């Protein structure tokens, strides 16, 4: 029986056999302290890492990041990425939002005001 197509299968293939010829190995991200120790020892297991902006700020505060050279990343400026996500040490890729909603009939005509 053939397994159904899953998007992560395609991503995995692309990461393991990129057009650039660069070998890409996907590793699990360890805890912050382990990553920081690898960086400080000069032996990180990664060249690129997918983390959130709060972790990036922590790494920057611990002097464990390198400033990006946007002259080498010229296409980033025209990629439709919000300027607020283009930081000195990383490029954000997601925005998140939380939305609260309520039923208008659930409060007896009194709706929340704040």
> What pLDDT sits at residue 89?
92
**98 pLDDT above the threshold of 70:** yes
> What pLDDT sits at residue 92?
87
Whether residue 102 lies inside any domain: the answer is: no
pTM (2 decimals)? Answer: 0.60
Q: What is the pLDDT of residues 10-22, one digit of tens each?
A: 555 556 555 677 7
Whether residue 107 lies inside any domain: the answer is: no
What is the spatial distance between Cα 19 and Cα 62, in angstroms, rounded to a whole number?
35
Whether residue 22 lies inside any domain: the answer is: yes
Whether residue 52 lies inside any domain: the answer is: yes
What is the spatial distance between Cα 76 and Cα 91, in angstroms, rounded to a whole number?
9
Query: Cα dihedral sign for 106, 110, 113, 114?
Result: negative
Q: What is the pLDDT of residues 24-46, one digit of tens each?
A: 777 777 789 999 999 999 999 88
Whether residue 54 lies inside any domain: the answer is: yes
> What pLDDT sits at residue 76?
84
Whether residue 42 lies inside any domain: the answer is: yes
> What pLDDT sits at residue 109?
76
Residue 61, domain extent? 7-66
Where helices occur in the chain by DSSP H, the ranges are 7-16, 32-40, 53-61, 74-77
Token digits for 82? 């919000």
Whether residue 43 lies inside any domain: the answer is: yes
**3 pLDDT above the threshold of 80:** no
The number of distinct structural domains making up the chain is 1
């Amino acid at each position: 029986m053939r397994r159904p197509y899953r998007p992560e299968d395609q991503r995995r293939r692309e990461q393991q056999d990129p057009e650039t010829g660069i070998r890409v190995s996907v590793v699990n991200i360890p805890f912050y302290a382990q990553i920081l120790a690898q960086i400080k020892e000069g032996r990180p297991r990664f060249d690129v890492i997918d983390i959130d902006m709060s972790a990036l700020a922590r790494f920057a505060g611990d002097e464990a990041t390198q400033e990006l050279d946007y002259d080498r990343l010229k296409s980033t400026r025209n990629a439709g990425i919000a300027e607020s996500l283009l930081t000195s040490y990383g490029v954000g890729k997601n925005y998140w939002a939380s939305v609260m909603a309520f039923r208008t009939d659930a409060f007896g005509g009194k709706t929340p005001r704040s």
